[in-house]
A = this chain, B = another copy of it.
Amino acid sequence: MNIVVDGMGGDFAPKNVIEGVKLALAERKDITKLLLTGDEQTLKNAMQAAGLSDRRIEIVHASQVVDMHDPATAPLRQKKDSSITVAADLVKKGEAEAVFSAGHTGASVAATSVKWRMLKGVDRPGIASPVPAEHGLGLILDAGANVDAKPQHLVQYAVMGSVYLKHVIGVQSPKIGLMSVGEEDHKGTDFTREVFGLLKDAPVNFVGNIEGNDIFDKGIDVILCDGFTGNVVLKTCEGTAKIMFKWLKSEIKASPLRMLGALIAKNAFKSVKERGSYESYGGSPLLGVNGICIIGHGSSSALAVKNGIRVACESVSHRVNPHIEEELAKLGK
């Protein structure tokens, strides 16, 4: 298969992107061609620095880069020759089947949504952000593509999240939990109550309302929410984990004895950090667009880029989009 990688996307591009591409190509023989978009000379230099030369790589020049201060619509207006615009166009022209980008999330959503349009039965795309739940992979869906969502959008997300987990990850009957402010059926806002009613009749394994403290240890596979709530939840998890490590560090530094103990137990801290890291997931699928787009964390490491490319390949090979259209056709029947 052919995959496009946004060579300029991410806080540490192109270095980490190129290093991630190198790891991905070494691992995946199913990649026939890997198209890299971005400034040709910059990418060539980065490839040389990383010692990367692979005949499967083809650089497709793009003169611009969407940066964090640009509006989401930049790839469609001010920066039509940006690396993400050119990447989306390559899929549109049929030259590749999937895009990975660790760049501006909103720009990736806008470029792919507008250029590729939606799958049949989908009104809005949703970002499925992985969270390290106790039982395995959980998905916060939508994590921020669609902040002014309508109830039917969430029902479509529930179906898409189920299909993704079933066909790509191999979860038999993914549990869908609706983020709310109490577990009882009637708890929540007018919006969540409407979604609740629609989900009862949808072809998914809806387990009811969940709360913010149910994300990790209640066996929920899809944490369903509007894009505003999902984005706030995701960043709150990150912020809480970060502050706890910070406090732990400062408390340990408070005495030489504590420092000694922490040194002896240091692998435990390392394991917890790894367990909570996004690196092994690599990226968040943007579900609902008519093509495969995997969104990486802005600060993606080479390992995260490699895993993001893996998620792109798996989404293609497991035919997630045709399956989504099939399942959505059952809605409202």
Contacts and interface: CB of A to CB of B under 8 A. Distances in A.
Interface of A: 134, 144, 147-148, 179-181, 188-190, 192, 211-217, 227-229, 231-244, 246-248, 251-252, 254-255, 257-269, 271-272, 275-276
Contacts of A233: 212, 232-233, 236
A81 to B, nearest CB: 24
A188 B257 CA distance: 47
Contacts of A251: 267-269, 271-272, 275
Interface centre among A144, A148, A213 (most CB of B within 10 A): A213
Contact of A257 (B231, B240, B241, B264): B264
A183 to B, nearest CB: 10
A272 to B, nearest CB: 5
Contacts of A276: 244, 247
A324 B264 CA distance: 53
A252 to B, nearest CB: 5
Given A228-B188, A265-B258, A239 B252 contact: no
A266 B272 contact: no
Copy number in this complex? 2
B268 A248 contact: yes
B267 A243 contact: no
Nearest to A246: B217
Summarize A's interface: helix, strand, loop or mixed: helix
Given A189-B228, A232-B212, A272 B244 contact: yes
A181 B261 contact: no
6 contacts: A144-B181, A147-B181, A213-B238, A215-B236, A257-B264, A261-B262
A236 B246 contact: no
Contacts of A214: 239
A262 B272 contact: no
Given A148-B190, A181-B228, A239-B214, A268 B258 contact: yes
A147 B240 contact: no
B243 A216 contact: yes
Contacts of A265: 252, 257-262, 265
Nearest to A254: B268
A256 to B, nearest CB: 11
Given A212-B235, A215-B236, A251-B267, 6 more contacts: A148-B190, A181-B227, A236-B236, A251-B272, A252-B265, A255-B267
A52 to B, nearest CB: 33
Contacts of A237: 212, 236, 240
Nearest to A106: B182
Nearest to A144: B181
Contacts of A134: 243
A247 B264 CA distance: 17
A144 B212 CA distance: 12
Contacts of A181: 144, 147, 227-228, 231-232
